[in-house]
Structure 1
Amino acid sequence: MAESKGNRRRRFGRIRQLPSGRFQVRYPGPDGVDRPAPNTFRTKTEAADWLTKKEAEMLVGDWIDPTAGQVGFTAYAETWIKERPGLRPNTVNTYDYLLRRHLAPTFGSKAVSEITDAQVRRWRKDRLDAGVSEVTLAKAYRLLKAVLNTAVEDGMIRRNPCRLRGAGQESSAERPVLKVQEVFALADAVGLRYRLLVTLAAFCGLRWGELAGLRRNRVELIMSSDAADAEVVGAVIAVTEQLLELSNGEIKTGPPKSRAGKRRVVVPSVVLPDLLEHLRWSSNPGSDGYVFATTAGKPLRRSNFGDKWRAARATVGLPSIHFHDLRHTSNNWAAEAGATLAELKQRLGHDSDRAASIYLHSTEERQHTIADALSERARRELRRRDASTDRPNTGTDRPDPDSGPSGT
């Protein structure tokens, strides 16, 4: 007598009815391990359909080991960060902070395979409601998405649950562009030890880390051709490294932020007197000494400069100005001086818009031209300021290098 269809042994997997009336499925994986379905089924037909789909996944190589994604998210993300090739120390520091501060509190106790679209959506809304800035949240979302993209590639999950359109895009408010008079007012107020820090940021577009890591032997002074009466007539800064301040307080030296960060920046002549005066009195001694250092000769930290900067901003009535706004100001000034896209990228160390850079080339001669235009603009605006206030423009008065807006 032929075996009835209902009792016929299945070619792939097994189905059995539980005392509750629902149906349980088990199947052999490609690795030979016998596994249950993640849930039971209402009917035997539903259970058989599930088995058919699972067998099809194996045949096309699309099967996911259900135990592979049971790794905790925090542990997997920490490994992900450690295994990324070529990450700069500052990037590692940023990733560690984003993971610890913004991702681990929500996803740290979950397995990678347990993270769902709805949880990612709820996490983002909760973070926004908690007052986290859109810029910071976009960075955290991009990190989460990158980690889970790798989980997909590792066969831990079938698809990435980070599917929120626009969530990884930063839309920070446009930062202000300072006037020349405002930059020099800030430089005056911050005191001589840090005056050059302000003017170099505004006229050369150097980043904070590039300024903090600048050494004397990276400042190339240009001498006049008159051998009998040689004098310094210009300067070029070779940016080759930056100082990094990690979240654990450690200070270390690393490469510039981008591949284009290694560059030569011509110092506008309007800043040259400050540069020479600073090298004479305020920099660390020796060719390898830091150009900017504390009164104790230690490498410069943001906290060393922070009190002076905040006091200077209050003194001149610009309490909301960030130090990075000086670099933004430099970019705008250089563009107004006629710098091309490639010249702006050369001066500021940007490597975006690579296609345009293939056809536009910056030369150091053009960088001198841009620097001269910036100097002329500064002198013209300072003359107007002095004429309107009857202020004598001596340009030689030098207070104590350590004096600041509070006289300290």
Structure 2
Amino acid sequence: MATTGLTRGMGSFFKECEHAESRWSKCPHEYKIRYRNAAGRQTEESGFATQDKAKIRLAEVYHARKNSPQSQRKAERIQKYGVMHFSDYVAEWLKGQRDLSPTSLRNLDALLRNHLLPAFGSRRMGTFDHKVVEAFIQSMERNGIGMATQTNVFISLKTILLDAHRLGLFEDSPLDGVKAPQYDPKRAAIPSVTQLQQIRTAGDDAFRLVTDLMSGCGLRNGEAYAVNINNIVADDVYRVTEQVNQATSAYARLKHRKVGEYRDVPLPARTKDSIEQYADTYGTVDGYLLRNPKDITRAIPHHVIDSQWRKIKKSGLADIPEGMVLYGLRHFFASNCLSNGIPITDVAEWMGHRSVDVTFTIYRHLMPGSISRAAQLLDLGLAT
């Protein structure tokens, strides 16, 4: 089946028959046309006896679409934003990001200031395409930018360009075909069981409690700091409802969640004992266990535990894997789950990831399955 194109954006006409295009005018088969409708969806029509009738219909659709209020508004947006510098577009885009937490805004500002604005600040928005984005990713690789930073920078750029694409600035998304930076999960240093035991006993009771919550329940740092005894909703279930914001040291909604949303996670017996022992020893304020040392009516600031972690690493009191950060305790939780055959979909839910793809990308290498192992299991099933 051959197709013949017209002016860009008009679509094409064709015949679904065995005849060559040079014989279309003489063969008895009808012409068909293909075009994108006002909603951008590909549409086909058939029943055109001649090539001229097919072209006339394509022209009618094209001009109707071009003259529609929606198309005129799109043209106005392209005229306004297409020539706008990236820096100006980002400044306007940021005004609409009201749902971002203070920490997220601070991190986004750093990525813009250190990476995106130096690279694209004066670039006009209408000039982005996949080659521009690919070249930028390659430049980050050449400059030795850390993989985690590369990933975060790309996600921020992707969010901005997708917003521009929705406005109609690009016929084709400038992200089509772009290979995103791939986070290397092997760089995530995870302690062994023995190392974990040394780490959890190297600090004070608050540090031990945080260690048990992150390694036992998969909580993020800020979520562990917001531990509340009232969130033990069953002997083996802990309800994660909030976190301590790193920027404000105040309680805030969970990452990727709206205010009031929560997630339930498994509560191992040892972690439950740690929570209850700490509460019995130090008491609680409205159920909260970890408090600001200078004012128990306020949440514990991030720097209190972070400072202990740095001292423990420097002291050599614990055998800590090279390159491990405090977040490695959360990695231990994922490793413990996956190595014991717990489905990755459950692990993704408990860890609060936006999608299972995130969990799979980071922890795929921890999953015990392999092609050889799968073949053995399938063979056993076939033999029964």
Q: TM-score, normalised on structure 2?
A: 0.62
Q: SS in structure 1 opposite 2:325?
A: coil
Please report how far the alpha carbon of residue 157 of structure 1 lies from its aligned counterpart in structure 2 after TM superposition: 4.3
Instruction: Choose from 317, 328, 334 the match for 2:331.
Output: 328
Please report how far the alpha carbon of residue 333 of structure 1 lies from its aligned counterpart in structure 2 after TM superposition: 1.8
Please report how far the alpha carbon of residue 139 of structure 1 lies from its aligned counterpart in structure 2 after TM superposition: 2.4
**CA distance in 1 between partners of 2:112 and 2:156 (Å):** 8
If asked which structure has higher relative contact order (CA below 8 Å, sep 6+), I would say 1
Q: SS in structure 2 opposite 1:190?
A: coil
User: Structure 1 350/72 Cα, relative in aligned 2: closer, same or farther at 3 Å?
Assistant: closer
**CA distance in 1 between partners of 2:64 and 2:242 (Å):** 53
1:107 aligns with 2:108: no
Please report how far the alpha carbon of residue 103 of structure 1 lies from its aligned counterpart in structure 2 after TM superposition: 0.6
User: Structure 1 124/340 Cα, relative in aligned 2: closer, same or farther at 3 Å?
Assistant: closer
Deviates more, 1:64-73 or 1:186-195: 64-73
Whether the aligned pair in 2 keeps the contact of 1:204 and 1:266 (CA below 8 Å) is yes
Q: Which residue of 2 aligns with 1:270?
A: 270
Whether the aligned pair in 1 keeps the contact of 2:198 and 2:319 (CA below 8 Å) is no
Q: Give the root-mean-square deviation of aligned CA atoms.
A: 3.4
1:208-259 Cα deviation digits (max 9, x unpaired): 1211222343245x7xxxxxxxxxxx5642211122223xxx3343322245
Q: TM-score, normalised on structure 1?
A: 0.59
1:186 aligns with 2:199: yes
Please report how far the alpha carbon of residue 327 of structure 1 lies from its aligned counterpart in structure 2 after TM superposition: 1.4
**CA distance in 2 between partners of 1:336 and 1:152 (Å):** 41
User: Structure 1 113/326 Cα, relative in aligned 2: closer, same or farther at 3 Å?
Assistant: same
**CA distance in 2 between partners of 1:305 and 1:282 (Å):** 17
Please report how far the alpha carbon of residue 353 of structure 1 lies from its aligned counterpart in structure 2 after TM superposition: 4.3
Whether the aligned pair in 1 keeps the contact of 2:249 and 2:302 (CA below 8 Å) is no
Please report how far the alpha carbon of residue 141 of structure 1 lies from its aligned counterpart in structure 2 after TM superposition: 1.9
Q: SS in structure 2 opposite 1:245?
A: coil
**Identical-residue share of aligned pairs (%):** 21
Deviates more, 1:100-109 or 1:168-177: 168-177
**CA distance in 2 between partners of 1:351 and 1:105 (Å):** 30
Q: How many residues align?
A: 282
User: Structure 1 130/266 Cα, relative in aligned 2: closer, same or farther at 3 Å?
Assistant: same
Whether the aligned pair in 1 keeps the contact of 2:200 and 2:211 (CA below 8 Å) is yes
Whether the aligned pair in 2 keeps the contact of 1:73 and 1:109 (CA below 8 Å) is yes
1:367-398 Cα deviation digits (max 9, x unpaired): xxxxxxxxxxxxxxxxxxxxxxxxxxxxxxxx
Q: Which residue of 2 aligns with 1:281?
A: 281
Query: Is the radius of gyration larger for structure 1 or structure 2?
Result: 1
**CA distance in 1 between partners of 2:266 and 2:175 (Å):** 44
Whether the aligned pair in 2 keeps the contact of 1:127 and 1:137 (CA below 8 Å) is yes
User: In structure 2, what residue type is equivalent to 1:131?
Assistant: G
1:129 aligns with 2:132: no
Q: Which residue of 2 aligns with 1:257?
A: 255
Q: Which residue of 2 aligns with 1:349?
A: 352
Please report how far the alpha carbon of residue 199 of structure 1 lies from its aligned counterpart in structure 2 after TM superposition: 1.5
Q: Which residue of 2 aligns with 1:24?
A: none
User: In structure 2, what residue type is equivalent to 1:200?
Assistant: L
Q: SS in structure 2 opposite 1:237?
A: strand
Please report how far the alpha carbon of residue 202 of structure 1 lies from its aligned counterpart in structure 2 after TM superposition: 1.0
